[in-house]
Amino acid sequence: MKLSAPKQIVFWIAVIIAIAAVLMALGVFSVSFISAVWVAIIAFVLLALGNVLKGF
């Protein structure tokens, strides 16, 4: 499997989602339908897809 760097926009979207997950875990704000753990997993999966898929 050949990995490639994610596009810059994918990287920054993943960072913003990860920061939102940390803030949710600290109780700064909450979203009633999803927990902070799932938000962090979504950020990680997005970043992983950016590394695995070429041009993503």
Predicted confidence (pLDDT) at residue 2 exceeds the cutoff of 90: no
- pLDDT the model gives residue 41: 98
Give residue-wise pLDDT tens across range 39-50: 999 999 999 999
What whole-number distance in Å separates Cα of residue 2 and Cα of residue 14? 21
Domain ranges of the chain: 12-52
Write down the pLDDT at residue 18.
97
Please state, in angstroms and rounded to a whole number, the distance separating the CA atoms of residues 48 and 27: 26
